[in-house]
Amino acid sequence: MIKNRFRQIHLDFHTSPFIPGVGEDFNPQEFVTTLKNAQVNAINITAKGHHGYSYYPTKVGIVHPSLKRDLLGEMIDVLRRENIMCLIYYSLSWDEYAAEQHADWLQIDINGKIIGRPPLGTKGWRFLCLNSPYFDYVKAQMTEIMEMYEVNGFWFDGVSQHPDGCLCSYCRKSMKEMGFDISNYQDRLKHNLMVERKTMKRLTELIHQKKPGALVIYNDRSRLDNRKEKSVRPELPHCSRIDLESLPSAYYGYLHFPMHVRYFQTLGKEIVGMTGRFHKHWGDFGGLKNQSALDFECNRILSLGAKVCIGDQMHPRGHLDRITYELIGNTFRQIKNKESWCKNSKLDADIGVLLCTQSDGTDRGPKRGLDSDEGATRMLMELHQQFHLIDSSADLSLYKVIIAPDDVPLDKQLTSKLKNYLKQGGSLLLTNESALDKQSKRFLLSEIGVKYLGKSEYNVDYVRFKSELNEKELATDYDYVLYEGGSKIKAKKGTKIYAIATHPYFNRSSIKFCSHEQTPPEKQTKEPVIVKKDRVIYISAPLFRSYRHGGYRAYKLVISSCLKKLLPEALIYSNLPSTAELTILKQKERRIIHILHYIPQRRAEIDIVEDVIPLYNIELKVYSDKKVKRVYLAPQEQEVKFNQKGSYVFININKVEGHQMIVLE
């Protein structure tokens, strides 16, 4: 298998047929020199883009009408000479030329409309159905490319059937043959997923028959799902690695990558994190990301155990922008100096967060429970906890605490796994309707120590904390608002109560309302909101989802207090502010602590990172069950004094500016 590299470029090249002189300025030596000066050691180069035109003398596809040279071949030759790994980019689900020539290849929705850009639309792309003869066209072109060139692998963009299910003539026919009901939404989704996975399997087998060991990467397969059959797990045999496209300035935001990578880290595949040099989105010509933003995004990718890829788009005439690659080079020089402490490293964690998210089997459709997982990710990152997101197939024994946020469903297998996990000494934190059987209206884990009485009758409620919660910043004589209604419960014998409900006078309505927002609290009750039994804590309110929506700090303090009770020996403690990010990577006999401090701000329609705010006098307390011989800063290799007492190593760092690695050997 070809080895993945740390400093990659994804070079988009989606060029309209109306643009003349495509590739006429391409100079192979200038091209490769620009890449080398920017410390690039791997690149994805385009064979066919979204417009459907190829950039080599294809006999299967259509050469771009103004291209007069073998642009792809010249790139491959010069990149191979200079030992820069290149993967062949191929636009799979989007091909405007094929869409125009073969209307029967287009994906069709349940209303008989074309999926994607309408006839008078100016943005977006039409979707080709992977179940149509279009796939034979793709297969023939893959074969042609492999016969013409020596390649390291392929990078396929878009294995995407419509989230509601394609109903083109080919899909209707195959659904009928399989006994599916085309009017049934779930049948359409099941067929969708079968088509996508069949496409991946056939392409990977084709490539490996001709090029054993070649890398095969599929974009748009990075969905979260707590169910094995709908998750990406069945697709992993077809993937050489997992590329997580995540441009924070686009619709992804700065939470997308750290959340997704914490799940994909558990699946045993190498991960490449992909951001972009663009100020906004792909194809943002003239839009250049701030240097501190690109540094943050790429160093963050390293800190989460992945390799780095920066997206760019080549000018139609075939030259790379000097200013763009000065920007990229500034970042990649940092990455190059840090690589030796990041190779073969894995994100460490003592907390496993069970995914609440359930997808419809597609990457583009609705995601049930996603806001709960996002709230958990944001909250735990701000608390500097070390965690993975896990699905129902995960090995629970790897974690000291399992968190089930808000509405994690349990089947028989997961229920049994959690019961056994608790018997083996694990701890569990659940909120709201996690582990609740919706039909019988009872919790599937008796270990929770409460009886479910139904949903709270109040849309907005209040909670009063008891001193047993042991959180100094949470007053015991104040009613904290619960912005979303939760569950009503009764504590069983032997269950400790840490917080009780205070109800409002009434639910707000068009007839009964008070002031501008929620009705104020009336009086305390004895109804429990937070309870603990043995090593299980249950909270009746959906605090994770509520934190994602409102960011109320009190909810974060509650979770922090609960984790202190369930996790008395965490992997790391610090005096860092919540704006800092803290992770630990394991690498053979080393543990590498990453501290990042860049602060995205919502200054426009997107989050902006412009300045680097240094941190001073950082105190770290790091768990270690082995004798630590040396602590130093990387890549500076500057020695750091430390003191090891029992299971913890105490370290003081004078200053962190942007990103700092601290190595324990």
CB 582 within 8 A of CB 568: no
The model's pLDDT over 181-211, given as tens digits with 9 standing for 90+, comes to 999 999 999 999 999 999 999 999 999 999 9
| Domains of the chain in sequence order | 7-343 (3.20.20.80), 351-566 (3.40.50.880), 572-664 (2.60.40.1180)
Residue 1 has pLDDT above 90, yes or no: no
| pLDDT on residue 290 | 97
| pLDDT on residue 548 | 97
| pLDDT on residue 365 | 63
Alpha-carbon distances, residue 217 vs 85, 196, 236 (angstroms): 14, 14, 10
Average pLDDT of the residues in 323-350: 97
The model's pLDDT over 530-555, given as tens digits with 9 standing for 90+, comes to 999 999 999 999 999 999 999 999 99
Cβ atoms within 10 Å of 335's Cβ, excluding its own: 20
Average pLDDT of the residues in 616-645: 96
What radius of gyration, in Å, describes the C-alpha atoms of the chain? 27
| pLDDT on residue 279 | 95
Residue 120 has pLDDT above 70, yes or no: yes
| pLDDT on residue 361 | 64
Give residue 251's pLDDT band: very low, low, confident or very high (50, 70, 90): confident
| pLDDT on residue 363 | 64
Cα–chain center distance at 327: 25
Average pLDDT of the residues in 458-465: 96
The model's pLDDT over 479-505, given as tens digits with 9 standing for 90+, comes to 999 999 999 999 999 999 999 999 999
From CA 115, how far away is CA 129, in angstroms rounded?
10
Give residue 111's pLDDT band: very low, low, confident or very high (50, 70, 90): very high
| pLDDT on residue 222 | 86
The model's pLDDT over 407-455, given as tens digits with 9 standing for 90+, comes to 999 999 999 999 999 999 999 999 999 999 999 999 999 999 999 999 9
> Is residue 212 packed enough to be buried (19+ CB in 10 Å), middle (13-18) or exposed (0-12)?
exposed
The model's pLDDT over 9-47, given as tens digits with 9 standing for 90+, comes to 999 999 999 999 999 999 999 999 999 999 999 999 999
| pLDDT on residue 228 | 85
> Is residue 13 packed enough to be buried (19+ CB in 10 Å), middle (13-18) or exposed (0-12)?
buried
Looking at every residue in the chain, the average pLDDT score rounds to: 95
Residue count of the chain, please give it. 665
What is the sign of the dihedral through the CA atoms of 137, 143, 149 and 152? positive
Contact partners, residue 399, CB within 8 Å, separation at least 6:
349, 350, 351, 352, 388, 390, 426
- For the chain, first and last CA: distance in Å? 30
Whether the ω angle into residue 521 lies within 30 degrees of 0, i.e. cis, is no
